[in-house]
Structures are given as C-alpha cells and as structure tokens.
A and B are shown apart, each in its own frame.
Chain A
C-alpha cells in the first residue's frame, strides 16, 4: 500500500539529492574536520560550504551559524545562553503555544531554578496579543522566545515587530524558526532577531542536525563545553554528514521557495476546502490569512483524533493529531487549549502538513476517503451536533 505522507511538520523525506550529496561522507570522506591533515581538511572545507548555504537561507553571515544536533538543542542553548550571560535578570517572556523544546524548558526553569516566566496567550485564531506582549517587559527580563511559525496550526507570528519591541526594551530575542525555515522567506538583515533555531529534518535533511543563528557580538555562553569546535561555541565533533546534508537541503529549499508558496499552498488549500466542504461540523484551527503554506489543522466535531488517525492509517494516509490519546498526556493539544477551541472539536483535531513531494492525486484521495471515516466514527459516537450544545463553527471556519 502506498503511503500518502501528510505529516511533514513532524519530519520530512530526505530529498534524494540531499542523500546523494551526503553519502560519500559516510564511506570515502570520513575525516575529522578538525584534523590537521588534508584528509580531514577536505571535510572541513565542505562544512564551510554548508555553513554558507545555511547562512544564505537566513540572510546572515556564515560566522553567525552554530551547528547543533537538533532544534531542541538550539532552543535550549539560546535560552540558557541568554540567562547565563545576564545572571541578574530572572524573567523570560514566551507564549503558551510554543513547541515543548521551549515551553517545557521554560517550565523547568520556572519550577527548578526559580525564574519568572510570562506565557502570552492567544485569541481564538491562535494570534498573539501584541499589547499583552508589550506590557510583559520588566527591567529584569532576560530573553523573549517566540516561535516564527506554529507547528500545529502553521500560524506565522509578527516576529519582525516583536523583535523590534524587544530591542527597544534592551532584551534578547530568540525565535524557534524550525517550521518556518525553507517554507517562508527569512532575511535576518532586516529582522532584528538575536538568535534563531532551525532543524534539518523539517526541510528534507536527515534527523540529528540543527543550527542556531547567533547575531555577531551578542554575548554567548555555550551549552556544551569541551573541544573548540564551532568557534568554541558548541563542543563535540561535528555531525559532518548531517551538516553537509543540511547545507544542500537549504540550497534546495531556497530554490523551491516559490514552489512552496504556490504549488504546495494550492494543494493545501484544495485539501482544506475539500474537507471543510465535505464534512459537516468541521472547523479550521488557526489564522486563515497568515499561515505556513503547507499546514492545515482541521477539527472534526464529536469524534476523537486517534480513532481518525488509525482509520486513515488503514488507507495509508499519515497525518498527526492534537488529541490527547495520541500523546499519552490525557489532555488535548496545549495549542488548541490556549486558543479556546471547544472540547467538542479539540479532541478531534487532525494536522495535515504537506511538502513539495505531495501530489494532486494524493490530495484527491484524502478528500474522497476521509468523509466516510468521519461519518463512520460519528455513527459510533453518543454525541452529535443535535445532542450537544450548539457549536458556533462560524468563527473558526471563516
């Protein structure tokens, strides 16, 4: 059975060109880039090229890129560095809809190390309130960490404006751009972000490689201390194959940026419209006008997400759910909860995330088959639109 992979915000297929590029560095060119001999030096030269490619997609200098193992490491490093560099500052601003790499770390810092954290809320569309943000700054605020785009809804946040506000307040600004890099244009020359995290496996490079942009002259404290790799900013022998793959993936992502915003967006919109039209009591979660071009988060009322996912899986369709039962946490997605999505819908949310490898036929198949799955599960359910309190779907679906 063919897999229709619509879970690209979880991870992506390694682009065959990326795979081909990285292969020799497993078998033939396996030198340590820190070695003095030419055998290692040629790998070091490739890392330099990869660093330039990553810098190019962000619009920054290669020296401002530190390679890491993943987005989570980049996020943790950025926040920890800002706190260690300013030990007298004990306050952090973030949002309630961040990825756990930021949210759980902030909660840890709050509980175990006594930091104060302000968690910005959202409106029903998942948009942040900028007035609440501006009011959150304190003299002891050390860092703001707000994601560029949300992994569950695809919402894009006003990072330029928020970074500017942080700058005016003399506060470091970090953004988790793991979902945004490669999908929307980013130019750090014009956006005053101090630190930015990205992850390779979200843009068709393999898992296990990430990067952290740290603006030149920003005080920085390494998370990993040991050797002098990465300009003494991140110890540990580099994941050379992963870094070379990331460099190539960034090149390809830049080349495909227009396609991401035209063809992928068109397929996403077709899928979204097709499902919302075909399935009653379904709502779109998120900001319709300001989202990543590949992401659509739809809630199907009165049914539960894991049950939908498993039924889809029977047909070879892979997606994600924000339902409690898929996470083991027993509560539905913290993002949907923060947005105030009614229980009637929150448990039945499915995230579809596309990539340039998806096809029209795949989208058509999902539009054809999913309505029957929802219908069957609703037949099983003791709830329905008639039995439950009337749900105001209008505000979410418009």
Chain B
C-alpha cells in the first residue's frame, strides 16, 4: 500500500471543488482513459485577473484525485500571473508530499492548468493538442523529449526511475530507457536536443501517444462508427499498442461475413488516412 499523507487522504476522501463550470473562462483537459488517469480543469477569472472559481473532474488513483483537489484550492483567489507560476512541486508540497512513484499525478495538474490558461487566452483548444515539435521518446505514454527535459530540470531528476515517476516515460514496455538515459545526460551536461522537423507528413506525426489515442478515438467516433451504425452495427476500441489498433465489432458487424472487408476497407483505411499510415487494425 502506498504511504499517503493525511492531507492526501483527506483530499482523496473529501475532494474539494468537484464538478464543472458551465461558463468557464478556461478549460484544460489532459490524460485519457487509456493512460489510466485524466483531469479536466475549469477556471473562472474575473475582470481583475483573479481566479474566482476552479472545479475539476478526475479519473485516476487517490493521488490523482487529491492532486486535482489541491490544485483547485491553490488556484481559487489567486491572480492569474501568480497561478501561471504554479508547478507540480507546489501541488505536491501543498499535500505534504506524494510518493515519488506518484509524482506524475502532480505533473498532470500542472499540465491541466497550463492548458486551461492557454484555452482562456484563445491560444489552444481545451484538450491538449499537438503542439510538440520535439522527439517522441516514450511511445507507450506518448511523452516527448521536451516534457522529459523540463521535468528533469524543474525537479532535478537524477535517474531513469525518477523520470518515470514524474512523467510516466519508461513505465510501459521499457524500450525508451536508453533514450531517457541520454536525456538525463543531456539535461545535466547541457547538450542541445535535436532540431524539430518542419511540417507533419501525416496527421498524427509529432503527437504524444495520448494525443494519438484521442485522435484514433475521435476518428472512430466521427468517421467510422456512424457508418457502421447505419447498418445496425457498431465498433469498440479495445487497445492501442504502438501501431497496432485492436477493435471489436458489435451488433450486426459481429459475425458478419464481410467483417474482414469492413475492417480493412473502412476501419483501417480511414485510420491510416486520418491518423497514421503505419497503423494496423485487427479484430480482437
């Protein structure tokens, strides 16, 4: 069992400021079901630039819920320019500390806040979109070098394990461990990262894995499912593992003699076109 402080337990069992703000000035959505934690943050700001209200909805573990609750407490009543300076460390400190393995929950809070402020200023949609220009390091959780370098520098991370605790990078298949070691060396040695590429060659290029998952879900919802539903069928996204997408047919599509053709000609073809030409779709 994780060792949580009394304050973490209190904010988990009695979370403050749960819910939505209908006329929010800024909304920040980060994480996803696939990743195991997600946070939607709503903020309301008055004419003097003071955050008058903040609410949240969180899917995740005790520390994710407590971090979200703490974040709203830290935000309410604070001038926007001060709120912008809040970091994950502030959230963790407010809670009396988090287990090191759970520090990524506080990072999620910081990211949601940044997204909400960008959204308020009209600089970004509510959901984190694909503004990354760096190198994708962790394919399992869609973490880019820039996020990792920032976490290393801001939190003085020393080991790959630290990086995983703070960013989730390296917490899946482990293939990126060598890259994480390289980034640690770069961050501590001052080596410059690779220059980002110019224009994306396909829609999902440059996206984090989470963003890519969102895009796949979105394409299925808007471009694929309605076509299947028109014929009495349906589809469910089961899993995404790098370029492999696992789906399940339902309704009339389940057991349909043409399901293989539907899988290739509609589902895979659409996802290749609208997400990534390397995607392979199979039925599970």
Listed in ascending order, the chain A residues whose CB lies under 8 Å from chain B are 124, 302-304, 306-307, 310-311, 314, 323-325, 328-332, 337, 340-344, 347, 379-383, 388-392, 395
| A331 and B140 contacting across the interface, CB-CB below 8 Å | yes
A325 CB, min distance to chain B CBs, angstroms: 4
Inter-chain contact B38/A382, CB cutoff 8 Å = yes
Q: Is B225 an interface residue (CB 8 A)?
A: yes
Query: Is there an interface contact between A392 and B250, defined as CB atoms closer than 8 Å?
Result: yes
Q: How large is the interface on B (under 10, 10 to 19, 20 to 34, 35 or more residues)?
A: 35 or more
The answer on a CB contact under 8 Å between A307 and B61 is yes
Q: Is B59 a contact partner of A389 (Cβ separation < 8 A)?
A: no
**Number of residue pairs across A and B with beta carbons under 8 Å?**
99
Q: Which of A311, A340, A343, A392 contacts B34 (CB 8 A)?
A: A343
B248 touches A (CB below 8 Å) = yes
How far is B242's CA from A103's CA once the two chains are assembled, in angstroms?
Answer: 22
- CA A347 – CA B61 in complex, angstroms? 10
Question: Is the beta-carbon distance between B237 and A342 smaller than 8 angstroms?
Answer: yes
Q: Are B34 and A381 in contact (CB under 8 A)?
A: no
Give Cα A388–Cα B220 distance, bound, in whole angstroms: 11
Q: Is the CB of A325 within 8 A of B284?
A: no
Nearest 6 pairs of A and B residues by beta carbon? A330-B171, A325-B61, A382-B57, A306-B61, A340-B284, A382-B40
Apart from A304-B36, A343-B237, A389-B225, what 12 extra A-B contacts exist at CB < 8 Å?
Answer: A306-B61, A330-B141, A331-B36, A337-B239, A340-B246, A341-B238, A342-B239, A347-B36, A380-B15, A382-B59, A388-B33, A390-B236
B37 close to A (CB within 8 Å): yes
CB of B37 within 8 A of CB of A331, answer no
A328 proximity list for chain B (CB < 8 A): 101
Known: A302-B59, A314-B13, A337-B239. A383 touches B234 (CB 8 A): no
A-contacting residues, B172-210, CB 8 Å: 172
Inter-chain CA distance A341–B33, complex, in Å, is 13
Within the complex, what minimum Cβ distance (angstroms) separates A394 from chain B? 8
Chain B: which residue is nearest A327 at the CB level? B101
**With contact pairs A307-B62, A331-B140, A383-B33 given, residues A389 and B217 touching in the complex (Cβ less than 8 Å):** yes
- A342 B238 Cβ-Cβ under 8 A: yes
Q: Is the interface of B mostly helix, strand, loop or mixed?
A: mixed
Closest beta carbon of chain B to A40's beta carbon, Å: 41
Q: Is the CB of B239 within 8 A of A340?
A: yes
User: Are A307's CB and B36's CB within 8 A?
Assistant: no
Chain B residues with a Cβ under 8 A of chain A: 2, 12-13, 15, 18, 29, 33-34, 36-40, 57-62, 64-65, 101-102, 140-141, 164, 168, 171-172, 217, 220-221, 225, 234, 236-239, 246, 248, 250, 284
Closest to B39 in A: A382
Q: Which residue of B lies closest to A301 (CB)?
A: B33
B2 CB to nearest chain A CB (Å): 8
Docked pose: A390 CA to B38 CA in angstroms: 19
Q: How far is the CB of A349 from chain B (nearest CB, A)?
A: 12
In the assembled complex, which residues on chain A have CB atoms less than 8 Å from the CB atom of B168?
A: 330
Q: Closest approach, in angstroms, between the C-beta of A119 and any C-beta of chain B?
A: 14
Q: Is the CB of B248 within 8 A of A380?
A: no
B60 to chain A, nearest CB (A): 5
CA distance in complex: A90, B37 (Å): 41
A382–B40 alpha-carbon span in the complex (Å) = 7
Contacts of A307 in B (CB 8 A): 12, 60-62, 65
Q: Which of B33, B60, B220, B225 contacts A344 (CB 8 A)?
A: B33
Nearest CB in chain A to that of B141: its residue: A330
Contact of B284 among A124, A323, A383, A390 (CB under 8 A): A124
Which chain A residue has the least Cβ–Cβ distance from B171?
A330
By a CB distance below 8 angstroms, the chain A residues around B171 are: 329-331
Contact B61 A391 (CB under 8 A): no
With contacts A331-B172, A337-B239, A340-B238 known, is A380 near B36, CB below 8 A?
A: no
| Interchain CB contact (< 8 A) of A383 among B38, B64, B225 | B38
B234 CB → nearest A CB, Å: 6
**Given contacts A304-B36, A323-B36, A330-B36, are A392 and B60 in contact (CB under 8 A)?**
no
Measured in the bound complex, the distance between the Cα atoms of B171 and A323 in whole Å is: 14
Take A343-B239, A389-B221, A392-B234 as given contacts and tell me if A303 and B101 are in contact as well, using a CB distance cutoff of 8 Å: no
List residues of chain B with CB within 8 A of the CB of A302: 33, 59
Q: Take A342-B239, A392-B250 as given contacts and tell me if A382 and B36 are in contact as well, using a CB distance cutoff of 8 Å.
A: no
Which residues of A lie under 8 Å from residue B239 when comparing CB positions?
337, 340, 342-343
- Pair A381/B284 contact, Cβ less than 8 Å: no
Known: A306-B62, A328-B101. A390 touches B234 (CB 8 A): yes
- Structural contact, B36 and A332, CB atoms closer than 8 A: yes
Give B244 Cβ to nearest chain A Cβ, in Å: 12
For A344, the chain B residues whose CB sits under 8 A away are 33
- Give complex CA distance A382, B33 in Å: 10
Instruction: Point out the residues of chain B lying under 8 angstroms from A331, CB to CB.
Output: 36, 140, 171-172
B240 → chain A closest CB, angstroms: 8
A304 touches B60 (CB 8 A): yes
What chain B residues lie within 8 Å of A311 (beta carbons)? 13
Residue of B nearest to A337 (CB): B239
Complex: how many Å from CA A160 to CA B57? 50
Tell me the complex Cα distance, A329–B37, Å.
14
A36 to B39 CA separation, bound complex (whole angstroms) = 68
Q: In the complex, what's the smallest C-beta–C-beta distance from A308 to chain B, in angstroms? A: 10
Q: Which residue of A lies closest to B9 (CB)?
A: A310
- Contact: B60 with A325, CB < 8 Å? yes
A residues within 8 A CB of B238? 340-342
A–B complex contacts, Cβ < 8 Å, 20 sampled = A302-B33, A304-B37, A307-B12, A325-B36, A329-B171, A330-B36, A330-B164, A330-B172, A331-B36, A331-B140, A331-B171, A331-B172, A344-B33, A380-B15, A380-B18, A380-B58, A382-B39, A382-B59, A388-B33, A389-B237
Chain B residues lying within 8 Å of A303, measured Cβ to Cβ, are 59
A351 to chain B, nearest CB (A): 16
